[in-house]
């Protein structure tokens, strides 16, 4: 399928042979006023389908900054407004998306986190480096690493942690059973208190 899509794709330079003005973004925009362009985006954001799609992307940890760029780019491609107008209204569109997230109670990120991206890149590079070194090592060289890993997993600290976890689990189970036992004791006390009244019939009174 991938080979067929490449073979059926456009020929390099083919766009230069087409008649100009075939696309919406090649035509004059529908509006040149930032106020009108912003009203267009606000009306679009009130659509239920847009709200559902936008909130879903926010839940997938897509920053609002990226959503704003996508909304502006699509409007430019559809010939609604120019790129210049899009740059002018981008902050307002960003604020509207933040308001949408707060209104729907959706957790969101406004911008890309450079520190998180840097940390993820460092972890990826470290993992690649470790795997590369492990591939070059012989089985004899890998044996100490495996033994050290096994020793770390069976260390007293790890065993103590597992014992503590088991104790906490057992204590939670016992606490869950206590109300049932107290209920049984209460039922027995009620039965014991009710038993004398049950024997107070006509024959027991000596009548």
Q: Is 136 a member of any domain?
A: no
Q: Is 97 a member of any domain?
A: yes
Q: CA 173 → CA 57, 71, 169, 178, distances in Å?
A: 40, 52, 6, 9
Cβ atoms 113, 65 nearer than 8 A: no
Q: pLDDT means per 10 residues in the chain (207 residues)? A: 61 80 84 94 94 93 93 94 95 95 92 70 78 74 66 60 64 53 48 48 46
Structural domain containing residue 37 = 24-104
Q: Is 92 a member of any domain?
A: yes
Q: Is 39 a member of any domain?
A: yes
Q: Is 6 a member of any domain?
A: no
Query: Smallest Cα–Cα separation from 87: which of 137, 135, 34, 51?
Result: 34
Task: Give the SS3 label for residue 50.
Answer: helix
Q: How far, in Å, CA of 37 to CA of 84, rounded?
A: 11
Q: What angle do CA 156, 161, 162 make, to 5 degrees?
A: 100
Q: How far, in Å, CA of 114 to CA of 65, rounded?
A: 13
Q: Is 9 a member of any domain?
A: no
Q: In the prediction, which pLDDT does 186 show?
A: 46
Tokens 């959503």 -> residue: 67
Count of domains observed in the chain: 1
Q: Is 129 a member of any domain?
A: no
Q: How far, in Å, CA of 94 to CA of 72, rounded?
A: 10
Q: Considering the entire predicted model, what is its pTM?
A: 0.50
Q: Is 195 a member of any domain?
A: no
Q: In the prediction, which pLDDT does 6 show?
A: 57
Q: In the prediction, which pLDDT does 26 show?
A: 83
Q: In the prediction, which pLDDT does 161 show?
A: 61
Q: How far, in Å, CA of 86 to CA of 33, rounded?
A: 10
- Residue 64, judged by CB atoms within 10 A of its CB (0-12, 13-18, 19+), counts as buried
């Amino acid at each position: 399928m991938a080979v067929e899509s490449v073979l059926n794709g456009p020929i390099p330079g083919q766009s230069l042979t087409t008649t100009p003005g075939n696309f919406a973004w090649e035509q004059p925009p529908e509006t040149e006023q930032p106020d009108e362009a912003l009203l267009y985006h606000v009306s679009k954001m009130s659509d239920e389908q847009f709200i559902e799609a936008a909130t879903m992307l926010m839940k997938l940890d897509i920053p609002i900054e990226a959503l704003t760029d996508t909304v502006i780019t699509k409007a430019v491609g559809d010939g609604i407004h120019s790129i210049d107008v899009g740059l002018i209204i981008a902050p307002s569109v960003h604020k509207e998306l933040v308001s949408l997230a707060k209104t729907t109670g959706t957790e969101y990120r406004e911008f890309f986190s450079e520190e998180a991206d840097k940390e993820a890149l460092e972890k990826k590079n470290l993992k690649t480096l470790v795997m590369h070194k492990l591939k070059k090592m012989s089985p004899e060289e890998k044996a100490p690493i495996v033994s050290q890993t096994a020793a770390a997993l069976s260390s007293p600290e790890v065993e103590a942690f597992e014992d503590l976890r088991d104790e906490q689990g057992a204590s939670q189970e016992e606490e869950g059973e206590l109300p049932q036992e107290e209920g049984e004791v209460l039922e027995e006390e009620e039965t014991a208190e009710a038993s004398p009244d049950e024997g107070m019939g006509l024959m027991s009174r000596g009548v």
